[in-house]
Structure 1
Amino acid sequence: MISTQETRATVRPDFDGPYLEGMAWDLATVSGALSEIATTWRRALPCRPDLPLDLPQRLADMARRLAADIRSLGALGAPGASAAPGTPGEERAPGLAREMSIRMSALSQGADYARAITAGGGAADVGDTPLWELLRPALRRTGRTLTTSLAAGLAPVSA
């Protein structure tokens, strides 16, 4: 049996259709979970005054911006989106894809950092564990899909 998660990770070199929608859906899941984590942290403030209350919301905003940029990249890479090779949209797509890959990595690292604040170490449980469990697979899937699309030639990565 093939799960929907495996289907979303399928490489689509033209970066449109279900492939794009899957990444946008996963980022919406990440953003929603982070918004809920922000609410959980605000409620836990009396017993955990050390929590940086703005961190989960900043990460949620970052996920929303990434989803918007993924849609933009899909529009740039869609067949017929550019009038001719060498148009500004076509030239911008590889740079935008590389930038998104960097931002995706920053989002993932930020989420790991935020999770570490409330995980283990004898700290009081704030009730965010189920939300992190929802967020992590979607974040990993999106990062893996974006990396795979770059490797497949959507936007060649060069230093």
Structure 2
Amino acid sequence: MMPDRYRNLSAVLNSLYQVLASLGHLMKEEQQQLMAATPNSRRLMSLSEDKQALLVTLTFVEQRRSESEHALALAPPYSEHPSLAAVWQRIEPLAQQLAEQNQHTALMLNQQLAWTEQVLNVLQPLQAQHFYGPDGHPVINR
């Protein structure tokens, strides 16, 4: 049984794991959207907003973890406290996996940006052409 003074840190660690797990699911869907032949831009925007909200929550939970650790004079991997160490052993690899997944997502976003820039470069000369005049009638180029 865990002493009461460690319960808060245990709850914070469990919250941290849940936030990271949620972030992982969201990032997986984000990658699926980026790999799609035609990504759903609205869904990507929604995922981005959800991701930002989770990152704000993650920052808050990390601050609470830091405060709890400081008050208890503890630090990961919590070797002297098996129940805390067990939760940390789930958190650490998940955090590492998410960092790697985030790097992969960044590469995918950069590729999407490069493709978009290529398309815009192809379309840019067409933008300079005037097909219709101010009156809405076709302009005949001679």
Q: Point out the structure with the larger helix share.
A: 2
- TM-score, with length taken from structure 2: 0.46
Point out the structure with max Rg over C-alpha: 2
